[in-house]
Amino acid sequence: MIKFADNRASKQRKENLAFLTFRIMSYFVVVILAVIILFLLYNGARVISWDFITAMPAEGMTKGGIFPAIVGTLCLVAGSMVFAFPVGVLSAIYINEYAKDGLFKRFVKLMTNNLAGIPSIVFGLFGMSLFVNTLGFGDSILSGSLTLGLLTLPVVIRTTEEALRSVDNSFRQGSLALGATKLQTIRKVVLPISFPNIITGLILSIGRVSGETAPILFTVAAYFLPKLPHSIFDQVMALPYHLYVISTSGTNIEESRPMAYGTALVLIAFVLIMNIIANLLRRYFSKKVKMN
């Protein structure tokens, strides 16, 4: 018969200690996050006004608004999505629905993963070398959008692939068994079912693109340009770059601080809104599926 040492008390003590430590550390992480967001919300909210959002910057970017930066960022988001969304979704469809398991598929997946891991500044270098210099697009919305588009491409592919994978194979087989072609099956069965997840992925990647700075530094972003773009070959200001500029190298850093708070708030708000929309959509669609 074993003589069990009665270690119940010490076991319990250790467990309590460990759980308490983990709880405290987790809450600490959350508190840090809350502090960052609340700090920026609080300071930004005092600056933000209708004027701030709709006016041109003035007096060495210490007064006025950030309207051109907002417009610039919207242009870049739209431009990058026009490129990344179709290419990414089509690519994911091919990988998931057409490509056979084999060397090609594995290679493409490996490359997609690698592309996702490349730092954004390297995209900036690449975009500058290819789009700005080699192809001669210059510093322009086009160059910036393509660079950002390539950056988000792996994200779009990954989320779309996950969405497609979550469609049960029985749906595909059911459709094929009824005599539908592969394309019809994808269009009428697979895509409608995976649509909600694809859209949520897209919205989240919009949030990400809007905050990227390094890739646009040398491909599009203008330091100070108080007018709106007329074509895709124009330079624009962009929110994240604007925040960088006025918080580190503006003409008068102290005086432009309120502007910086405001810009940071707009940026965060943009990301927050995208997150909320994505979550709402997810909830809305999952309810709809349940009702069906």
Residues 184-223 that bind another protein (CB under 8 A): 204, 207-208, 210-214, 217-218
Token reading at 159: 């989320």
Q: Which stretch binds another protein (CB under 8 A): 123-131, 188-196, 226-234, 280-288?
A: 123-131
**Is residue 91 near another protein by the rule CB under 8 A?**
yes
Least separation in angstroms between residue 196's CB and another protein is 18
Which one among 45, 82, 121, 135 touches another protein, defined by CB under 8 A?
A: 121
Pick between residue 58 and residue 110 the one whose CB is nearest to another protein: 110
Residues 48-67 as x/- pattern, contact with another protein by CB under 8 A: --------------------
**Is residue 12 near another protein by the rule CB under 8 A?**
yes
**Is residue 272 near another protein by the rule CB under 8 A?**
yes
Least separation in angstroms between residue 88's CB and another protein is 8
**Is residue 107 near another protein by the rule CB under 8 A?**
yes
Q: Which stretch binds another protein (CB under 8 A): 5-13, 63-71, 166-174, 227-235?
A: 5-13
**Is residue 120 near another protein by the rule CB under 8 A?**
yes
Which 3-state string (H, E, C) describes 226-290?
Answer: CCCCCCCCCCECCHHHHHHHHHHCCCCCCCCHHHHHHHHHHHHHHHHHHHHHHHHHHHHHHHHHH
Least separation in angstroms between residue 175's CB and another protein is 14
Pick between residue 103 and residue 292 the one whose CB is nearest to another protein: 103
**Is residue 15 near another protein by the rule CB under 8 A?**
yes
Which one among 45, 54, 58, 119 touches another protein, defined by CB under 8 A?
A: 119
**Which own/partner pairs from 281-290 qualify as long-range (CB within 8 Å, at least 24 positions apart)?**
281/196, 281/199, 281/200, 281/203, 282/196, 282/197, 282/200, 285/195, 285/196, 286/196, 289/196
Pick between residue 47 and residue 150 the one whose CB is nearest to another protein: 150
Q: How far apart are the first and last CA of the chain?
A: 60
Q: Dihedral angle at the C-alpha atoms of 99, 103, 104, 106, nearest 10 degrees?
A: 80
Pick between residue 159 and residue 230 the one whose CB is nearest to another protein: 159
